[in-house]
């Protein structure tokens, strides 16, 4: 099989002139930091997910850190985090002064296992951080039941979950505090950026103050006519606010979210159908309880059926000009978590087995039909090339 004519990235942003016009307009407006566009983006985002409050951040990581702090989680507390996630889900627990307690996942979906949450609860447990991995909601009913029974806070890592729903309700609208990511590769991108959503007024107020130096409310507006020069510092806060340059991208992206998601959905269904016909490659299971945002499209290489492992499969795809990524290296295998928290190989067998098989293939709205067809053909070609048996 011939390599594709150019490299197919595993993820790229989707944009047109409206993003450029938004940025240009912001430059001309002289609101180069937080300003009216950030406020408008917050309002529009809150409405779109059905949350009472939305506070724009410079990243999802910042939003997770602030969410934990605003809920009063800190020294001596334990927070449950899935082992298959980006390091930020667990690192932010450390930033807040608490201890991350990693738990195993369900191999069919890569989502946190509610039974593993239940088994990890101690008298010190204060919160659960479910990660809506790949753009599919966790089993929120089960998680909410556990949280209620043990009086725990739920803080959703919604980095992959713009557009995701659970039983008809968008993530962000379930009544918990959530943090979304608008990093360059995410479904809705502002270069860097994030959004904390909550229905809790006290959490919202505290989060807003903490994200801007701990200065009293509305200090961002102090240089405008009608704004006040006076402010008071209530906490040793952070510099985590979004800027209007980022918000202008966010507003332009929100206008095309439905269109972008329709393409992701079409391409994901095409991949599903092709992969169902390939021996030795599996796709993740789609749950029927919600809308999948298809942030990632994960496939598993089954070494019992193919004479190739995941690492070598990635090399073969790279040689064909197809970009891939791995989501994720289990958190407990990183040196920090081994050395500081005593985790070791073998601690989470499902996460480790999942990690040995998984890779993410290209899926994004700016992919052409030619590119998506080529990736599908490459999977068929490699599965035939490395087939263990002839049937």
Ligand X SMILES: *Cc1c(COP(=O)(O)O)cnc(C)c1O
Instruction: Identify which range of 98-106, 157-165, 239-247, 383-391 contacts ligand X by CB under 6 A.
Output: 157-165
Under rule CB under 6 A, how many of the chain's residues touch ligand X? 14
Best CA proximity match to 32, nearest among 244, 324, 255: 244
CA distance 288 to 284: 13
**What residues numbered 255-294 form the site for ligand X, per CB under 6 A?**
none
CB of 46 to ligand X, least distance (A): 18
Which position among 177, 181, 197, 324 is part of the footprint of ligand X (CB under 6 A)? 181
Which region among 100-108, 153-161, 224-232, 356-364 touches ligand X (by CB under 6 A)?
A: 153-161
Q: Does 85 interact with ligand X (rule: CB under 6 A)?
A: yes
Tell whether residue 134 is a contact of ligand X (CB under 6 A). Answer: no
> Which token pair is 79?
């927070």
- Smallest distance, Å, CB 292 to ligand X? 15
Give yes or no for residue 157 binding ligand X (CB under 6 A). yes
Q: Tell me if 302 sits within 8 A of 151, measured CB to CB.
A: no
Instruction: Return the sign of the alpha-carbon dihedral for residues 206, 211, 215, 218.
Output: negative
Concerning whether 344 is annotated as a catalytic residue, the answer is no
- Rounded to a whole number of angstroms, the minimum distance from the CB of residue 60 to ligand X is 3
Applying CB under 6 A, among 159, 162, 189, 382 the residue interacting with ligand X is 159
**With binding defined as CB under 6 A, does residue 183 bind ligand X?**
yes
Cβ nearer to ligand X, comparing 182 with 386: 182
Asked if residues 60 and 157 have their Cβ atoms less than 8 Å apart, the reply is yes
Matching residue, tokens 């067998």: 349
Is residue 343 involved in binding ligand X (CB under 6 A)?
no
Nearest to ligand X of 61, 248 (CB atom): 61
Q: Which of 126, 186, 206, 300 is catalytic?
A: 186
CA torsion sign, 302 to 308 to 309 to 314?
negative
Q: Which is nearer to ligand X, 156 or 371 (CB)?
A: 156
CA distance 300 to 281: 6
Which tokens is 281 given?
Answer: 């490659």
CB atoms within 10 A of CB 277: 10
Among 61, 125, 136, 243, the residue binding ligand X under the rule CB under 6 A is: 61
Indicate whether 241 belongs to the interface with ligand X (CB under 6 A).
Answer: no
Residue among 159 and 274 whose Cβ is closer to ligand X = 159
Question: Nearer Cβ to ligand X, position 88 or 207?
Answer: 88
CB of 218 to ligand X, least distance (A): 25
The single residue among 84, 90, 103, 131 that binds ligand X, judged by CB under 6 A, is 131
Q: Which is nearer to ligand X, 86 or 374 (CB)?
A: 86
Instruction: Choose between 150 and 334: whose C-beta lies nearer to ligand X.
Output: 334
E strands in 129-212: 153-158, 165-166, 169-170, 177-181, 194-198
Alpha-carbon distance of 35 to 248, in angstroms, equals 10
Q: Centre a 10 Å sphere on the Cβ of residue 43 and count the other Cβ atoms it contains.
A: 12
**Burial environment of residue 232 by CB neighbours within 10 A (0 to 12, 13 to 18, 19 or more):** exposed
Nearest Cα neighbor of 350 from 89, 113, 81 is 113
> What's the rounded Cα separation, in Å, for the pair 292 and 345?
32
Of positions 31, 86, 337, 343, contacts ligand X by CB under 6 A: 86
Which 8-state DSSP code applies to residue 3? P
Burial class of residue 18 in the structure, from the number of CB atoms within 10 Å of its CB (0-12 exposed, 13-18 middle, 19+ buried): middle
- For residue 107, state whether it binds ligand X (rule: CB under 6 A): no
User: Catalytic residue numbers?
Assistant: 186
Name the residues that contact ligand X, by CB under 6 A: 59-61, 85-86, 88-89, 131, 157, 159-160, 181, 183, 194
């Amino acid at each position: 099989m011939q390599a594709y004519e150019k490299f197919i990235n595993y993820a790229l942003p989707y944009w047109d002139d409206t993003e450029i016009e938004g940025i240009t307009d912001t430059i001309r407006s002289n609101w180069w930091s937080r300003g009216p566009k950030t406020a408008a983006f917050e309002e529009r985002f809150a409405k779109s997910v059905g949350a009472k409050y939305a506070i724009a951040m410079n990243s999802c990581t910042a939003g997770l850190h602030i969410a934990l702090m605003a809920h009063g989680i800190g020294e001596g507390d334990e927070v449950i985090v899935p082992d298959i996630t980006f390091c930020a889900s667990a690192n932010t627990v450390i930033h807040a002064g608490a201890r991350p307690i990693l738990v195993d996942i369900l191999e069919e979906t890569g989502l946190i296992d509610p039974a593993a949450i239940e088994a990890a609860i101690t008298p010190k447990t204060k919160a659960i951080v479910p990660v809506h991995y790949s753009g599919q909601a966790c089993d929120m009913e089960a998680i909410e039941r556990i949280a209620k029974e043990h009086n725990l806070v739920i803080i959703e890592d919604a980095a992959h979950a713009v557009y995701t729903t659970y039983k008809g309700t968008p993530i962000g609208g379930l009544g918990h505090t959530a943090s979304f990511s608008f990093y360059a590769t995410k479904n809705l991108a502002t270069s860097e950026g994030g959004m904390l959503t909550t229905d809790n007024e006290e959490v919202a107020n505290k989060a807003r103050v903490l994200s801007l130096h701990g200065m009293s409310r509305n200090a961002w507006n102090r240089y405008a006519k009608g704004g006040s020069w006076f402010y008071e510092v209530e906490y040793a806060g952070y510099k985590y606010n979004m800027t209007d340059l980022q918000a202008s991208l966010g507003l332009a992206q929100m206008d095309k979210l439905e269109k972008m998601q329709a393409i992701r959905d079409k391409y994901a269904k095409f991949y599903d159908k092709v992969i169902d016909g390939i021996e030795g490659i599996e796709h993740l299971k789609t749950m029927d309880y919600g809308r999948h945002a298809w942030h990632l499209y994960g496939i598993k290489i089954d070494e019992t059926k193919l004479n190739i492992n995941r690492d070598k499969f990635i090399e073969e795809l790279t040689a064909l000009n197809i970009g891939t990524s791995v989501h994720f290296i289990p958190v407990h295998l990183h040196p920090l978590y081994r050395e500081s928290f005593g985790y070791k190989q073998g601690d989470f067998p499902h996460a480790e087995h999942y990690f040995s098989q998984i890779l993410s293939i290209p899926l994004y709205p700016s992919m052409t039909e030619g590119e998506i067809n080529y990736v599908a053909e490459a999977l068929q070609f490699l599965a035939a090339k490395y087939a263990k048996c002839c049937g």
